[in-house]
Structure formats: structure tokens, C-alpha cells
Amino acid sequence: MRTLRWRGVDHLDGCVQVNAEASRVECAVQGLLLDELELASLRGEVQEALLSLNLESRIGRAVVSVAGPRFSGLQGQSLSGAFRWERDVVRLERAVLQQANSR
């Protein structure tokens, strides 16, 4: 098992663990500013993202939490989601967008 940890500026933290024998990858990221990635018009701060993959059996899970998400004309206070990967299908299991003044 190999582990890489980093602590960057502006609260960007992360950890990646790779087990080459078992084809497993675990990754955690906190404090990533989406603005800096220049992914279309996607904006916000990733408060937490967790990813767990088994590349040999082609399965995995991920959860993400974003503060202040913005995409084109859509803006919210927070966005969270959970995903599952099985073979050649990625499923969105849960997604929640919270906006000010919404019910």
C-alpha cells in the first residue's frame, strides 16, 4: 500500500492510497476550488470528496460536497451527491442542491 498526502495553500488537503496488488485506489480531497480547474463555467469549493475504486473488479463509490456551487445560471448554497460505479455503469445515487429562499 502506498500513501501520498499533501497539505497545500488555501486549505487544500488530500490523500491518495494505492494498493497495486489488489488494484484498489482510495482518494480524499478537501478545499479544492473548482474555479481554478476551469471546467466550463463550474464554480464552488469542494469541501470534501471521497473516492474508493477497485479497478480489477470494476466497482467503486464516491461522495462529494460542494459549497457555493455555480454552473452557468444555476447557483446554490451547497451541493452534495453520491455515486456508484459497477462495471460500465456509473449511477447517481443521491444528489441534493440547497438554494437560498427554496422550500
Q: Which 3-state string (H, E, C) describes 20-74?
A: CCCCEEEEEEECEEHHHHCCCCEEEEEEEEEEEEECCCCEEEEEEEEEEEEECCE
CA distance 24 to 58: 10
Report pTM.
Answer: 0.79
Nine-digit cell string for 55: 479497478
- Per-residue pLDDT, averaged over 60-87, amounts to 94
Structural domain boundaries, residue 86: 2-98
Mean pLDDT of 93-102: 88
Cβ within 8 Å of residue 89, ≥6 positions away? none
Instruction: Report how many domains make up the chain.
Output: 1
Give domain status of residue 70, yes or no.
yes
The answer to whether residue 24 sits within a structural domain is yes
pLDDT digits (tens, 9 = 90+) for 26-64: 988 888 888 877 777 889 999 999 999 999 999 999 999
Return the pLDDT at 84: 97
pLDDT of residue 8: 66
pLDDT-derived band at 9, boundaries 50, 70, 90: low
With respect to residue 103, please indicate whether it lies within any of the assigned structural domains.
no
Among 56, 4, 60, 57, smallest CA distance to 28 is for 4
